[in-house]
Amino acid sequence: MSGFDLTVRGGTIVTASGETAGDVGVKDGVITQIAEGLEPGAEDIDAAGKLVLPGGIDGHCHIEQLSSFGLMNSDDFFTASVAAAHGGTTTVVPFAAQHRGQSISDVVKAYRALAEEKAAIDYHFHIIVTDPTEDVLTKELPPLLEDGFRTLKLFLTYDLMKVDDYQTLQVMEVARKHGALIVTHAENNEMIRWATEKLVKNGHTEPKFHAVSHPRLAEAEAVHRAIILARFIDVPIMIFHVTTREAMDEVRRAQEAGLKVYAETCTQYLVLTSDDLDRPGGEGAKFCCSPPLRDDTDVEAMWQGLADGTFVTLSSDHAPYAYDETGKLNAGDNPTFKQIPNGLPGLELRMPVLFSEGVKTGRINLPKFVELTSTGIARLYGLYPQKGEIAVGSDADIAVWDPDAEKTISDDMVHDNTGYSPFTGHTITGWPECVISRGRIIVRDGKTDMAPGSGKIAKRELSDQAKPLGRIEPEMDETKNFGIRLLD
């Protein structure tokens, strides 16, 4: 008897740095040995012909989140955990979303309670700041940031969520002091507002006009501005859901200049386009998300950004709303694009779609797949090496992946609570056969063994990319062009 609780033997271990043959031994939820020829543990998984990957980390997903219009996502922490696990994801980073007037500490407490009760995989949170009052900035955020909440999300659009440039600078200053990372939804609110008003006035209200109402330049402008503001305060920034060539160019330019600018794109921007918003019978509503789906040239650009390192991760931006009166059709059967809640479900299919369309087609290699789905985001969000790695000492979060399994997506085969999938009809090659969370087998051959509340909040350290930095004031020396100077 080996003394392991669990072994995964005979597979190809893939990490962000390469592939090796080997067996993985697990004790008390942690990987304790990696070697060839391990004796079987109490539970033994035969991984011959399979890939042994770090469990996926979805660094951007909305779970049980109340929208500013009072609409609830269709998934709670349990249904979201089940869906994520079926697709190989074992850690999620959703949001604790402040709405204006709310105490951030109360908001975080409430979201933590929901996750503690229902999550069945591990998790942490980004904090959405919509109302950075003096109390929030000086009293509420500092203890939360010290307690491991290391990412603050700012919306630059949505009337009820957005912060202005001044508020952005204020929140960035707090992030700088405590070593937190700013993450942002960057679109120019006024350009969207102007375009929306014109379209609606002219009777252009079908779902396909959602894409027109979010001009590509609105994204490029806001990404540019967010980067400039972060550069001014000298803080790292993560740009969420990049969708256009122009926005990606802004990110690239900043990265080439040595700025600490990180970015992601999302599954839907790799395989869907704005043509999907024009599906007959109002079904385009199922494809309304923001930023919107773009065109084929953007799709190709997003693939390049994943391959060349512009993007540190691929996230789902899972924001599920059922196609009924509780969600997409809450304003009736024939809503204007303005009335359709934004968001697509995608937690489950993020890794399979990237594997099928990325690895199988040769657009990315296996280590890149692991980096984009797990390791890269663990590093950026301070979860590494507890999460995002197959190494001795890391949590035994593992996806045993069958690279040749093939399934065609249908609305009823996905496990979230949305009732449809935007990827229905797509044939996907490469699926997890067995998924392990801290040493527990939670999915095997399509069946789950998951209990609400078994997920835990993960530990988050300061990440290499976001360390506490000194106090600053505007630069007094006119000959310098940077604009701020350190006070200590």
Q: How far is the CB of 315 from ligand DUC (least distance, A)?
A: 11
Residue 375 CB coordination number (10 Å)? 26
Which of ligand DUC, Zn ion, none is residue 343 near (CB under 5 to 8 Å by kind)?
ligand DUC
Nearest to 92 by CA among 408, 390, 403, 456: 456
Amino acid at 338: K
Binding ligand DUC (rule: CB under 6 A), the pick from 185, 210, 379, 387 is 185
Instruction: Indicate whether 126 belongs to the interface with ligand DUC (CB under 6 A).
Output: no
Binding Zn ion (rule: CB under 5 A), the pick from 64, 250, 276, 317 is 317
Q: How far apart are CA 282 and CA 278, in angstroms?
A: 8
Q: How far apart are CA 284 and CA 466, in angstroms?
A: 39
Q: Does the N-terminal peptide bond of residue 94 adopt cis geometry, omega within 30 degrees of 0?
A: no
Q: How far is the CB of 67 from ligand DUC (least distance, A)?
A: 8
Give whichever of 16 and 238 is closer to ligand DUC, judged by the CB atom: 238
Q: How far is the CB of 62 from ligand DUC (least distance, A)?
A: 5
Query: Are 20 and 368 spatial neighbours (Cβ–Cβ below 8 Å)?
Result: no
Which of Zn ion, ligand DUC, none is residue 357 near (CB under 5 to 8 Å by kind)?
none
Q: Where are the alpha helices (H) located in 234-261, listed in sequence order?
A: 245-256
Give whichever of 185 and 440 is closer to ligand DUC, judged by the CB atom: 185
Handedness of CA 275, 248, 96, 380 (dihedral sign): positive
Torsion angle of alpha carbons 64, 263, 265, 142, nearest 10°?
0
Which of Zn ion, ligand DUC, none is residue 247 near (CB under 5 to 8 Å by kind)?
none
Q: How far apart are CA 173 and CA 226, in angstroms?
A: 14
Binding ligand DUC (rule: CB under 6 A), the pick from 24, 51, 57, 319 is 319
Which of Zn ion, ligand DUC, none is residue 61 near (CB under 5 to 8 Å by kind)?
none
Task: Please give the DSSP secondary-structure letter assigned to residue 139.
Answer: I
Binding Zn ion (rule: CB under 5 A), the pick from 9, 178, 185, 216 is 185
Q: How far is the CB of 198 from ligand DUC (least distance, A)?
A: 22
Using CB under 6 A, count the residues that bind ligand DUC: 8
Give whichever of 123 and 401 is closer to Zn ion, judged by the CB atom: 123
Which of Zn ion, ligand DUC, none is residue 276 near (CB under 5 to 8 Å by kind)?
none
Which of Zn ion, ligand DUC, none is residue 342 near (CB under 5 to 8 Å by kind)?
ligand DUC
Instruction: Indicate whether 264 belongs to the interface with Zn ion (CB under 5 A).
Output: no
Instruction: Indicate whether 289 belongs to the interface with ligand DUC (CB under 6 A).
Output: yes
Tokens representing residue 410 in the block? 């249908």
* Interacting span for Zn ion (CB under 5 A) from 85-93, 167-175, 185-193, 479-487: 185-193
Kindly identify the residues of this chain, within the stretch 51-90, that bind ligand DUC according to CB under 6 A. 62
Give whichever of 233 and 319 is closer to ligand DUC, judged by the CB atom: 319
Residue whose token pair is 């650009």: 301
Tokens representing residue 347 in the block? 């937690």
Which residue's CB comes closest to Zn ion?
185
Q: How far is the CB of 317 from ligand DUC (least distance, A)?
A: 6
Which of Zn ion, ligand DUC, none is residue 236 near (CB under 5 to 8 Å by kind)?
none
Give whichever of 233 and 289 is closer to ligand DUC, judged by the CB atom: 289
Give whichever of 244 and 342 is closer to ligand DUC, judged by the CB atom: 342
Give whichever of 290 and 394 is closer to ligand DUC, judged by the CB atom: 290
Q: How far is the CB of 229 from ligand DUC (least distance, A)?
A: 19
Q: Where are the alpha helices (H) located in 41-136, listed in sequence order?
A: 77-86, 104-118, 134-135
Per-residue binding letters, 338-357, with ligand DUC (x by CB under 6 A) = ----xx--------------
Instruction: Indicate whether 294 belongs to the interface with ligand DUC (CB under 6 A).
Output: no
Amino acid at 178: H
Per-residue buried b or exposed e for 414-432, using 16+ beta carbons within 10 Å of the residue's own CB? bbbbbbbbbbeebebbbbb
Q: β-pairing, 18-27 with 30-35? A: antiparallel
Amino acid at 200: V
3-state SS, residue 177: helix
Torsion angle of alpha carbons 152, 181, 59, 91, nearest 10°?
-90
Give whichever of 214 and 387 is closer to ligand DUC, judged by the CB atom: 214
Residue 358 CB coordination number (10 Å)? 23
Q: How far apart are CA 152 and CA 174, in angstroms?
A: 10
Q: How far is the CB of 291 from ligand DUC (least distance, A)?
A: 8
Classify residue 301 as exposed, middle or buried by CB count within 10 Å of its CB (0-12, 13-18, 19+).
buried
Give whichever of 22 and 320 is closer to Zn ion, judged by the CB atom: 320
Q: How far is the CB of 130 from ligand DUC (least distance, A)?
A: 12
Q: How far is CA 51 from CA 54, 214, 317, 381, 452, in A?
A: 10, 40, 26, 25, 28
Which positions lie near ligand DUC, rule CB under 6 A?
62, 185, 289-290, 317, 319, 342-343
Which positions lie near Zn ion, rule CB under 5 A?
185, 317
